[in-house]
Structure formats: C-alpha cells, structure tokens
Amino acid sequence: MAIQGIDFANLSLKDALDLAILVEDEAQERYEEFAAQMDQHRTPEAAKFFRYMVENEAKHGRELLARRIKLFGDAPRSVTRAMIFDIEAPDYDAARAFMTPRNAMKAALASEVKAHDFFVSALPALKDADVRALFEELRDEEVEHQDLVKKELAKLPPDSGLSDEDFVDEPAAQ
C-alpha cells in the first residue's frame, strides 16, 4: 500500500470522493486480474470468489460515483490513479496457482484490513469536516466488508489440510 502526492490536509470533498472511486476501481481491476489468472491456471473456485469480489467493488464504486455526480456533476477530476498503489487491491503476490477458496478469501480479507488501515491513517491529517465524515464512513464500510468476507469464510467446509503448493510442479530437468 502506498500513496503519492496526496495532500490530505487540503483534500476537498470532490477529490476525496474521486480518490475513493479510484481505490474501488483499482481493487475491482485487481480482482478481475486474479479471476483471469485463476481461469488460466484451472482454479475455478478461487476465480468464482474473485469475481464475487469484482461485483462487490464495482457496486461500491457505482454508489460512490452516483454521490459524486449528484454533488459535483461532471466537474473535472484532479486526482489520478498514479497517486494510489494497492490501497484496497490485494497485493499481486497474494495470488497462487491452485489456491483454495479459503486462501482466496483470506487474501481478500487482508485487503479489506489494508483499506481500513488506509482510511484510519489518513484521518488525523484531514481538516475538512465533510471529508473527515466521508473517510469515517469509508473506514466503517471496510469493517462491514471484512464481515462479509468472514461470513463467506464461515460457509466453507473444514480445511482439507492440503496446501496450494502441493499442486505446483516440481522443478524438472530438461
């Protein structure tokens, strides 16, 4: 997780909403990539779960976008994707070929925790009351998202004891 060039002290509500939308976009794209990776590596159950996360991130992104349009119309955006890195998107190294649905869910849970930490760490620097209220709301939503993933985790049958690594090819001489 990293940020670049964000002046939290002077963040406007428009910029804060745009930033939140970008965070959701990044996460949505990363889950789409993960789902495609799982398809490529014949890991359909993990792919299915990552597509479920794609829908969740997209839904949240759409809600934020609707608020942004209602408040600010099509006013130009002054924040960019280059300012955020892996805020709510799972880290690339969280994916593994043949990963179990449980490990896929654990990766998503770690990302929701990461996003929560981002909003918590930004709060002390915020000066605008509306921006602060938005970040507090987003912080709390990340807790709700964590609960959502935890519920999915609870639905899973007990772990088989097998590791993702058990299905990976051993190095072979050519």
Interaction site with other proteins (CB under 8 A): 2-4, 29, 33-34, 36-38, 40-41, 43, 80-82, 85-86, 91-97, 99, 168-169, 171-174
Nearer of residues 83 and 141 to other proteins, judged by Cβ: 83
Strand partners, 2: 85
Q: How far is the CB of 140 from other proteins (least distance, A)?
A: 27
Cα(68)–Cα(12) distance, integer angstroms: 12
Q: How far is the CB of 31 from other proteins (least distance, A)?
A: 13
Nearer of residues 10 and 80 to other proteins, judged by Cβ: 80
Cα(10)–Cα(140) distance, integer angstroms: 22
Q: Are 151 and 107 in contact (CB under 8 A)?
A: no
SS3 94: helix
Nearer of residues 91 and 130 to other proteins, judged by Cβ: 91
Nearer of residues 11 and 104 to other proteins, judged by Cβ: 104
Structure tokens at 84: 């955020």
Structure tokens at 28: 């949505």
Q: How far is the CB of 173 from other proteins (least distance, A)?
A: 5
* Half-sphere exposure at residue 156, Cβ-oriented, CA atoms within 13 angstroms: 18
Q: How far is the CB of 79 from other proteins (least distance, A)?
A: 13
Nearer of residues 4 and 160 to other proteins, judged by Cβ: 4
Q: How far is the CB of 42 from other proteins (least distance, A)?
A: 11
* Surface-to-core class of residue 167, CB atoms within 10 Å of its CB (0-12 exposed, 13-18 middle, 19+ buried): middle
